[in-house]
């Protein structure tokens, strides 16, 4: 790995992403116009030698040295890389294996693997058994037949994007990305690399929520720090590549949108985002799951847990500093996806929680439209899957109410079924909304201010537009009140 091992002093309570670095970065123009004088064979000669099926270790050592030397001239730290790749619109490729990519990747990246899953595993075995030199020879001999195919894929990407500038990264910012970048440069492309690779991006994704105008989060638990270090390394290892700096008041302010099951929170969020252009983090939408035991209904497959975290981080990165972001009051698990711990902590310590209260009749209608509409019932095995989901609540509901719920499912009395389920979900949510940890035990006290948006008793059908206006009004009043106190 090329990751820096230098130790950095970090204030763990005030580390935040520098969205606008004060330090200048090396311009692409300077890199493109640079002249290099490198001892040994020319790049053209080296590239020709690499085509030899009996390529020598010495040639590969030269490639390694040349690739690393070249890579250092155009490696960007994480926020810089994302800014160039996403904000400025340059394509970027992930040269890790399909297996690595499928587990988790930077949203927007294109997988152009240097090696297959089996090839990568074989090289790893060679490294353990015979050392780095043998592993390099094994790797080159495995990838030689596919080099031209890789170049063809990149040519297609570049042609579609209308640019020769291509971002490249691998797992740690090591030989895979450096050698591919060198190869691309020899073929007329203008590559740029992600310093520290995907590992540095993951550090960024896990820590991007650390501070906001609402104040720093408390230090994370040691168990969480241990899990992060096991995955991506320590803060000191990653600081040079991610540029997480001790800056204050970075990121958006969090307004949590609460309410019992069936109050139409997701529909309110859509109105806030689409009609009012408000910043919204729709965790259920990103997780492809509505959070309950029935959250699978009419949703595509969920992303991996790691990829869900990546998607959340990139969405958070897009928000404007100091402005409200509206987030539904979720549990820390949405189906098979875990909300990133620092994001969940940011939600539980939000300064404002707007709790929506609507009549029971309207709530029942919302739930019936979502889970028991004609489109839902046309799903293959819908009734059987609903029955399985009801069974999952047996410990909480008890066998008698589960039996009644399943009987209503079979008879088609979805209204009666929904009322039974709400007795469970209402009690669970009432504990969740008030306590700091968000657990069903109801321990701790939430520090934020909880304000209610009360729908009129005449609202028998959800009016999400009216409710969204009320939510915005509460947020505006809170902001004015906070300003008057400062």
Question: 326 forms bridges with which residues in the sheet?
Answer: 255, 280
Q: Assign 275 a pLDDT band (cuts: 50, 70, 90).
A: very high
CATH number at residue 470: 3.40.50
Instruction: Examine the domain organization and report whether 235 and 272 are in the same domain.
Output: no
Domain boundary residue among 204, 228, 250? Answer: 250
Instruction: Examine the domain organization and report whether 193 and 266 are in the same domain.
Output: no
Instruction: Examine the domain organization and report whether 318 and 467 are in the same domain.
Output: yes
Assigned domain for 477 exists: yes
- Which DSSP category does 52 fall into? -
Q: CA–CA separation, 436 vs 59, rounded Å?
A: 60
Q: Which residue has the higher pLDDT, 233 or 109?
A: 109
Q: What is the pLDDT of residue 230?
A: 78
CATH number at residue 155: 3.40.250.10
Q: Which residue has the higher pLDDT, 480 or 409?
A: 409
pLDDT averaged over every residue in the chain: 78
Cβ pair 434, 442 in contact under 8 A:
yes
Asked if the model's pLDDT at residue 268 lies above 80, the reply is yes
Domain boundary residue among 250, 285, 315? Answer: 250
Asked if the model's pLDDT at residue 92 lies above 90, the reply is yes
Domain boundary residue among 250, 266, 293? Answer: 250
Assigned domain for 378 exists: yes
Q: What is the pLDDT of residue 381?
A: 76
Asked if the model's pLDDT at residue 452 lies above 70, the reply is yes
Instruction: Examine the domain organization and report whether 383 and 474 are in the same domain.
Output: yes
Instruction: Examine the domain organization and report whether 243 and 257 are in the same domain.
Output: no
Instruction: Examine the domain organization and report whether 198 and 338 are in the same domain.
Output: no
Instruction: Examine the domain organization and report whether 207 and 350 are in the same domain.
Output: no
Q: Return left, alpha or beta for 172; rule: phi > 0 is left, psi -120 to 50 is alpha, else beta.
A: alpha
Sign of the alpha-carbon dihedral angle for 225, 103, 326, 429: negative
Asked if the model's pLDDT at residue 236 lies above 70, the reply is no
Q: What is the pLDDT of residue 334?
A: 87
Cα angle, residue 99 at apex, residues 222 and 173 outer, rounded to 5° = 65
Section 78-85 average pLDDT: 90
What is this structure's pTM? 0.79
- Strand order of the β-sheet with 352-357 is 279-281, 324-328, 253-259, 352-357, 449-454
Residue 353 is inside which H or E element, if any? strand 352-357
Q: Which of 54-58, 400-404, 458-462 is most confident?
A: 458-462
> pLDDT of 283-293, one tens digit each?
988 988 766 66
Instruction: Examine the domain organization and report whether 407 and 359 are in the same domain.
Output: yes
Give residue 121's domain range.
Answer: 63-250
Instruction: Examine the domain organization and report whether 222 and 74 are in the same domain.
Output: yes
Q: What is the pLDDT of residue 241?
A: 64
Asked if the model's pLDDT at residue 385 lies above 60, the reply is yes
Of 144-153, 237-246, 446-455, 460-469, give the lowest mean pLDDT range. Answer: 237-246
Instruction: Examine the domain organization and report whether 426 and 352 are in the same domain.
Output: yes
Assigned domain for 288 exists: yes
**How many domains, the chain?**
2
Closest among 335, 357, 236 to 290, alpha carbons compared: 335
Burial of 28 by CB count in 10 Å (0-12 exposed, 13-18 middle, 19+ buried)?
Answer: middle
Which residues lie below 8 Å from residue 250, measured CB to CB, with a gap of 6+?
16, 17, 18, 19, 211, 212, 321
Q: Which of 74-88, 109-123, 438-452 is most confident?
A: 109-123
Assigned domain for 30 exists: no
Q: What is the pLDDT of residue 19?
A: 25
Asked if the model's pLDDT at residue 88 lies above 90, the reply is no
Asked if the model's pLDDT at residue 360 lies above 80, the reply is yes
3-class DSSP assignment, residue 89:
coil
Q: How far is CA 313 from CA 66, 105, 203, 205, 319, in A?
A: 34, 12, 10, 5, 10
Q: Which residue has the higher pLDDT, 402 or 315?
A: 315
> Count of residues for the chain?
486
Assigned domain for 234 exists: yes
Kindly report the number of other CB atoms within 10 A of residue 147's CB atom: 17
Q: What is the pLDDT of residue 294?
A: 63
Q: CA–CA separation, 76 vs 166, rounded Å?
A: 13
Q: CA–CA separation, 387 vs 284, rounded Å?
A: 22
Instruction: Examine the domain organization and report whether 182 and 327 are in the same domain.
Output: no
Q: What is the pLDDT of residue 225?
A: 73
């Amino acid at each position: 790995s090329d990751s820096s091992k230098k130790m950095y002093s970090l204030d763990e309570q005030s580390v935040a992403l520098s969205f606008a670095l004060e330090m200048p970065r090396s311009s692409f123009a300077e890199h493109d116009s640079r002249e290099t004088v490198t001892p040994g064979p020319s790049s053209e000669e080296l590239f020709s030698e690499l085509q030899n099926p009996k390529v020598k270790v010495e040639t590969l050592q030269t490639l390694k040295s040349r690739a690393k030397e070249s890579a250092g001239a155009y490696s960007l730290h994480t926020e810089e890389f994302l800014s160039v790749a996403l904000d400025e619109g340059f394509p970027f490729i992930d040269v890790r294996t399909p297996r690595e990519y499928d587990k988790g990747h930077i949203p927007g990246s294109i997988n152009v693997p240097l090696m297959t899953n089996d090839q990568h595993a074989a090289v790893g075995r060679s490294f353990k058994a015979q050392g780095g030199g043998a592993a390099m020879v094994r790797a080159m001999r495995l990838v030689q037949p596919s080099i031209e195919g890789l170049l063809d894929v990149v040519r297609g990407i570049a042609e579609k994007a209308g640019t020769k500038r291509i971002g490249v990264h691998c797992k740690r910012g090591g030989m895979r990305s450096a050698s591919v970048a060198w190869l691309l440069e020899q073929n007329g492309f203008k590559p740029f690399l992600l310093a520290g690779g995907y590992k540095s991006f993951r550090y960024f994704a896990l820590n991007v929520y650390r501070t906001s105008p609402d104040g720093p989060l408390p230090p994370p638990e040691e168990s969480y720090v241990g899990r992060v270090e096991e995955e991506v390394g320590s803060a000191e290892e990653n600081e040079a590549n991610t540029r997480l700096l001790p800056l204050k008041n970075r990121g958006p302010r969090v307004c949590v949108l609460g309410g019992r099951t069936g109050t139409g929170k997701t529909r309110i969020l859509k109105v806030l985002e689409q009609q009012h252009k408000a910043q919204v983090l729709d965790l259920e939408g990103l997780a492809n799951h509505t959070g309950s035991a029935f959250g699978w209904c009419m949703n595509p497959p969920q992303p991996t847990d790691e990829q869900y975290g990546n998607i959340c981080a990139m969405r958070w990165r897009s928000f404007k500093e100091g402005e409200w972001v509206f987030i539904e009051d979720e549990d820390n698990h949405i189906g098979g996806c875990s909300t990133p711990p620092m994001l969940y902590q940011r939600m539980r310590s939000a300064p404002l929680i707007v709790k929506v209260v609507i009549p029971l009749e309207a709530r029942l209608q919302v739930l019936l439209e979502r889970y028991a509409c004609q489109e839902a019932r046309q799903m293959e095995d819908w009734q059987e899957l609903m029955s399985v989901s009801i069974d999952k609540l047996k410990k909480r509901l008890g066998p008698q109410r589960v039996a009644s719920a399943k009987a209503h499912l079979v008879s088609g009395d979805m209204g009666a079924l929904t009322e039974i389920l709400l007795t469970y979900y209402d009690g669970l949510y009432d504990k969740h909304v008030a306590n700091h940890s968000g657990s069903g035990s109801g321990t701790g006290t939430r520090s934020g201010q909880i304000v209610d948006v009360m729908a009129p008793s005449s609202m028998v059908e959800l009016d999400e537009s009216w409710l969204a206006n009320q939510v915005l009004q509460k947020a505006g009043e809170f902001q004015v009140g906070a300003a008057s106190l400062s």
